[in-house]
Amino acid sequence: MADEHLIEHKVSGVQVYAGHFLDVRCDQVHTPDGGSATREYIVHPGAVMVVPVLDDGRLVMERQFRYPLGRVMLEFPAGKLDPGETRQACAQRELAEETGYRATRWARACVVHNACAYSTEGIEIWFARDLQPGPRRLDEGEFLDVCHMTEAELDLLARQGELTDVKTLIGLQWLQKWRAGLWPLDWVACA
């Protein structure tokens, strides 16, 4: 196989921490040269992010305190998959719960990996249109503000280094590529 000189093979593995949220593993692996190494990582259920595009072109965003960084971050709506949930259902649920908006047209953009050195997490990015506002329903212990921003406002914040959340920057990248006709999105009707 072409990549055999790069691939590591699992020898054994243990769960070293099981928290409310984090599932931490430590595996022993064989390295490509026949040696041994330890690999520590988080097992994550996967996540989705939604780029919600209002009829006037503005985006529905969130401001949320992120405890590990000790700061409020500007982000597109996102959340973790519930057990057995499809990614599209998760996208619809998170958008409705966190912002109150429901959408009837959806398009899947891509999956991205945000911490490939130490997490199994993949974030699937969806676009949503034909948005209708409604009541939101936050999880217990979840606090966030909803705001509306233009693409130009987001672009300026990114250029100035003030928009730092990776998934949100990639949402902006896809939004601008899609609007420029360069990266296509396949829209499907979905209540």
Interacting residue ranges for its own copies, rule: CB under 8 A: 3, 5-8, 16-17, 19-22, 24, 26-27, 29, 31-33, 35, 37-42, 63-69, 72-73, 75, 109-122, 141, 143-145, 155, 158-159, 161, 164-167, 169-170, 172-173, 177, 182-184
Compute the least distance from the CB of residue 41 to its own copies, in Å: 4
C-alpha distances out from residue 71 to 75, 79, 128, Å: 12, 18, 27
Compute the least distance from the CB of residue 136 to its own copies, in Å: 15
* Catalytic annotation present for 162: no
Could you tell me which residues come within 8 angstroms of residue 41 by beta carbon, excluding any fewer than 6 positions away? 24, 25, 27, 117, 118, 119, 120
Given the complex with its own copies, which of 117 and 191 has the nearer CB atom?
A: 117
Token pair, residue 105, equals 């047209």
Given the complex with its own copies, which of 96 and 109 has the nearer CB atom?
A: 109
* Matching residue, tokens 């987001």: 154
Catalytic residue among 140, 151, 153, 162: 140
Instruction: Write the single-letter amino acid at 145.
Output: D
* DSSP 3-state of 143: coil
Q: Which residues are catalytic?
A: 140
